[in-house]
Chains A and B, each alone.
Chain A
Amino acid sequence: MSQPFRTHSGGRIDRNKQLTFQFDGEELTGVEGDTLASALLANGRHLVGRSFKYHRPRGILTAGSEEPNALVGIYRKGDQTPNLRATQVELYDGLKAISQNRFPSLDFDVGAVNDLLSPLFPAGFYYKTFMWPRAFWDRVYEPIIRAAAGLGKPPINPDHDTYGNLYAHCDVLVIGSGPAGLAAALAAAETGARVILCDEQSEFGGSLLSESDATIDGKSATEWVEDSIRSLSAKDNVTLLPRTTAFGYFAQNFVSLAERVTEHMADPDPALPRERLWQVRAKEVVIAAGAIERPMVFPENDRPGIMLADAGRTYLNRYGVKVGDNVLVATACDTAWQAAFDLADRGVDIAAIADMREKPSEALLSVAHARGIRVETGCVITGTQGRKRVSGALLGRVTSGGVTSAGEVTCDALLMSGGWTPTVSLYSQSRGKVVWDDTLGTFVPGAPVQNERSAGACAGVYGLSATLEAGYNAGEQAAKAATGKTAKLARAEANGADAGNGGILGALPHDRNASKVKAFVDYQNDVTAKDVKLAVREGMHSIEHIKRYTTTGMATDQGRLSNLNALQIASTSLGKPLTDVGLTTFRQPYTPTTFGVFANVSRGDFFDPVRRTPSHDWVVENDGVFEDVGQWKRTWYFPINGEDMHAAVARECETVRKSVGLFDASTLGKIEVVGPDAAEFLERMYTNPWKKLGVGRCRYGLLLNEAGFIIDDGVIGRLAEDRFHVTTTTGGAAHVFATMEDYLQTEWPDLNVWITSTTEQYAVCAVQGPKAREVIAPFVEGIDLSPDAFPHMSVATGTFCGVPCRLMRISFTGELGFEVNIPRRHGKMVWETLAKEIEKHDGTVYGTETMHVLRAEKGYIIVGQETDGTVTPHDVGMSWAIGKNKFDFVGKRGLQRPDLVAEGRKQLVGLLTKDPKVVLEEGAQVTKLANPPAGTSAEGHVTSSYHSSVLGRSIALAMVKGGRDLMGKTLHVPMPSGAIEVEVTDTIFVDKEGGRVNG
């Protein structure tokens, strides 16, 4: 074992399982049970990163998710995940990690020059510096800032992992598995309640895992944890989630958890998701998030080797790692003494315990004395030495007049404790308001706002006995509140790990030149005590302003380490009580959460449902090209013999006009309107009259909103007195259905009519062209297809290829046309039959592009292309579709609004370019002059534009102000390459008489 700082025994690690890993290319070893942080420390590595702004060498500060310094990149499967906290990265064999924010190396980083230049980078530096000139932003400031900003490098390849999702429900969700959380889970589980216990660490137990001398029910703390977990996992009503962070607390006890499923595995099964998002709805929540230790704000408190005292104790007791050989302990509270004692008991030299307090408890003093530990009271650290590792510290005696030097101490590690801060983040996210506890000198949760209880250290309850008691009570009460059930659970009795006293907030006094030293408040964002004071001097009086000006509390720990110290410094500078300065809001996520967790399954093929029609497989086999229309895959065009799109569309268009074409119209929305009041209902919804439409007849329907604007259109066929087959646009199907339901349920509940979506009940094959009748005739039974018996705009039921069909004689091409509606499961068979049949008639299959060209040649509008939600029937020349004698319909009153009847509205017209080869760009502006002066508003815009192979020239539709009065006039379409001259025409380019549909 080549880990010089590894102890010989103890800890939750397996020394027999050696693991090899790389850090910045150097091969090192650790053991099973290590985190990357503990393994690095076992190798004597404290320097693990460079700070964000000054590039100062930084070491591991904590042992938890609040770690601000030890952010690393982890390589896996050829890519790298940046900004992971080494304290949370579990070691596995072959792990590859890199340090961040340094160039060219961690040892020698040119960015460190920033530290020397630090007088140039005060708080608010960016706000003050990059103000002027404006033009410098894009070209100079932003590129430089962007290059320098950020810590790790984002991965560049698409994420090859999968992420899982689970909606979970429980009676009691317990967050955190320290003594309070475990007790809560045990108590709640005993009642039979459905319990979920989650903890962000790999192992349950929280602080108990690094406890050295306490016992519970006569067992060691870790034995009790193991027994408790064993009993919980034996229960069907309990779900145990290690490596699972509760990162968001939302309304009505909706809590989101991120479970890291494979991050700790050397070679995970690819079938496993990397992480899983748990969306938990809990009847009751017990927050047992614990407390974290506060750093002390003294000059040069950021050198590698300086660490929180409890972290030092955790590395020793849980991971079997000594953080140094000669450790100085600086504290203002009792608990750090235990760290010193544990280290001393493991043979580590304790350079001294420097306690700020004049009179630490006699009990502690006597234990220290017994171990021969030097104790300095009323003593603070006023500075430290060592560049890449702390080598010594300056001591100062606190007196009434200030601080006087008390000499130097050499050390290779410095453990500090400014006291404890309850983790109130999740309580705060639940919208609870924290309250100041004067005795504890910290914020604690106030009254619960949701069905929630904070228990244990996160509520300011310390000491093992009290914490367990709080946990049992919270678990019992939560279960009772959720289920009404209670159960008597024997409570474990704890000895040891009593609550300590003491704690300090804010910057510590020192005898150094204040303008020359840096005492860090927020390590990750390089915010010093000086910066906070400067912010106050410069007028930031609210903590929200100070936070944004200095960036304190904006690091990945969201200020869990720094907030209270920053508040105290601001409060002192402002001369206001701390509680008047305010506390910033804790927001989701509690710790950084990957995008993968949020994107979840919504990626690749499952980003959104992909809806396919029955012809899909045939189209794939026949090399059709698809386009996305909403969620649908529709065939765009069918190239044959290497045609490009232009050639394919030209051929398809000509073929339909000359002989026949087959088109898949299955995606059109279909709604069956049934009931005695069906006609009355349509009369009220659509602009057109419906009551007199004969059974077996179809009519084009136009749907407006109440404002009078077109929102949808489609052909409606009357199947029976009380039954209509309504079609809608593909994109409008869901909205039209919802709109109809809205009117039916909330405005006209008295009507005896119901609507049912049949969009997917029927596959629709449109057969269009002069030979359409010949194509379908062989397959139709029960319907007389002769023009007299079944004229344009007819509908009938019969059979097609032996299956039931609704046949409609309608046309969106201007040609003789039929739409064959067959029950969907037969759609493929019918499509294939027709595709074969049209070949006999020199026909073609065609796609949406040809459909668009053919209808544009006829001047038929497409809702959403010619219209944009501000277009009336009159604007597009469809006043004929409005029933003149109707009492009312949706939009009738809207159409009378002054703006809608005013002169000069844009109207639908045709445009023909002077040069027939030029195809206008859709969306292009239409102007009177070829070169209108700047500021001239356009006369209109091009809505549809195609090359018409049938006409051998381009055609376009446009919305132009007063367009119908401009027939024959010349307008212009200015483009970057020069204006294009166009002539205004009517909207019908092919078969102006309209005789072909009657063929």
Chain B
Amino acid sequence: MVDQVTADLYVPDAGEEPLLAISSVSILRAAPVSRLSFRCRDDARAAAGKAFGVALPAKPLSAETTSDRIAFWLGPDEWMLIAPESDLEAVSAKLEAALESHPTSLVDVSHRQEAILVSGDRAVWLLNTGIPIDLDVSAFPVGSVTRTVFHKAPVMVWRTGEDSFVVEAWVSFMDYVAGLLVQSAGELSAA
């Protein structure tokens, strides 16, 4: 079991104040990245991975990463491909060229969602104030990625370390998700 996965693409947005920064947990907005929703049948998966630069995982709820590429398994024919913000056109073009003979769908959703970085001793506790799944490392190991819900908002959660997570939500849901996380974390600073 790994303790940490490469998550270099998700860095705090330098221009933003932390949403929460206490000793036991912090919530930071992540800087923008390119996000491509990719759909294909099995026979195109290998070619897509080759063109993208990292294999598209076939194992449910897993991710493949390098320092500048991430492929998240979201469904049996669905991956979220992450690349640096500036690589959007190059990545799209490369994938399209490589997959000309395969029926696929590549859609830019870079702006659809935002990410926050939740980390610290109490990160699991804090996320579980709204996420109903078992986030114990035995049940949701480092490297796991899943869509689920946070209270009433759909979210995607990626575990990058024992106590560190990337949480993505559609942009208009992020105020709700981040707001409730900050509210729920309030008691951690209580006397």
Give chain A residues whose Cβ lies under 8 Å from the Cβ of B133. Answer: 167
B23 at the interface (CB under 8 A from A): no
Residues of B in contact, count (CB < 8 Å): 44
A674 at the interface (CB under 8 A from B): yes
B179 touches A675 (CB 8 A): no
Per-residue CB contact flags for chain A residues 152-170 toward chain B (1 = under 8 Å, else 0) read: 0000000000101111110
B128 touches A675 (CB 8 A): no
A165 touches B129 (CB 8 A): yes
Given contacts A166-B128, A610-B175, contact A758 B152 (CB under 8 A): no
A694 at the interface (CB under 8 A from B): no
Give chain A residues whose Cβ lies under 8 Å from the Cβ of B107. Answer: 672, 674, 756, 758
From 94 to 130 in chain B, residues with beta carbon under 8 angstroms from any chain A beta carbon are 103-113, 125, 128-130
A167 touches B109 (CB 8 A): no
Size category of the binding interface on chain A:
35 or more
A752 at the interface (CB under 8 A from B): yes
With most chain B CB atoms within 10 A of its CB, the pick from A602, A674, A677 is A674
A608, B179: Cα distance in complex, Å:
12
* Minimum CB distance partner of A671 in chain B: B107
A823, B171: Cα distance in complex, Å:
12
Given contacts A756-B105, A761-B111, contact A611 B129 (CB under 8 A): no
* Minimum CB distance partner of B107 in chain A: A756
Binds A, one of B2-10, B63-71, B158-166, B182-190: B182-190
* Minimum CB distance partner of B106 in chain A: A674
Give chain A residues whose Cβ lies under 8 Å from the Cβ of B60. Answer: none
* Minimum CB distance partner of B170 in chain A: A760
A608 touches B152 (CB 8 A): yes
A672, B38: Cα distance in complex, Å:
12
Given contacts A165-B130, A609-B176, contact A823 B105 (CB under 8 A): no
A281 touches B134 (CB 8 A): yes
Given contacts A272-B190, A760-B170, contact A167 B113 (CB under 8 A): no
From 899 to 915 in chain A, residues with beta carbon under 8 angstroms from any chain B beta carbon are none
Q: Tell me, rounded to whole Å, the shortest Cβ–Cβ distance linking B44 to chain A.
A: 10
From 137 to 191 in chain B, residues with beta carbon under 8 angstroms from any chain A beta carbon are 139, 151-153, 170-173, 175-176, 179-180, 183-184, 186-187, 189-191
Give chain B residues whose Cβ lies under 8 Å from the Cβ of A166. Answer: 125, 128-129
B17 at the interface (CB under 8 A from A): no
* Minimum CB distance partner of A169 in chain B: B134
Per-residue CB contact flags for chain B residues 57-80 toward chain A (1 = under 8 Å, else 0) read: 000000000000000000001000
A273, B183: Cα distance in complex, Å:
10
Given contacts A756-B37, A761-B110, contact A602 B151 (CB under 8 A): yes
Give chain A residues whose Cβ lies under 8 Å from the Cβ of B77. Answer: 754
A707 at the interface (CB under 8 A from B): no
A613 touches B187 (CB 8 A): no
A674 touches B105 (CB 8 A): yes
B39 at the interface (CB under 8 A from A): yes
Given contacts A167-B128, A281-B134, A675-B104, contact A269 B111 (CB under 8 A): no
The 4 closest A-B pairs by CB, nearest first: A752-B103, A611-B172, A754-B105, A674-B105
Can you report 29 residue pairs joining A to B where beta carbons are below 8 Å apart? A165-B184, A166-B129, A169-B134, A269-B187, A271-B186, A271-B190, A273-B187, A601-B130, A601-B184, A602-B151, A602-B152, A606-B179, A606-B180, A608-B152, A609-B152, A609-B153, A609-B172, A609-B175, A611-B172, A612-B175, A632-B172, A675-B39, A675-B104, A753-B103, A756-B109, A760-B112, A760-B113, A762-B111, A823-B110
Q: Given contacts A162-B186, A601-B129, A761-B111, list 20 more A-B pairs with CB under 8 A.
A: A165-B184, A167-B130, A169-B136, A194-B136, A269-B190, A271-B189, A271-B190, A272-B187, A601-B183, A602-B152, A611-B172, A611-B173, A675-B103, A675-B104, A754-B105, A756-B105, A758-B109, A762-B111, A823-B111, A824-B112
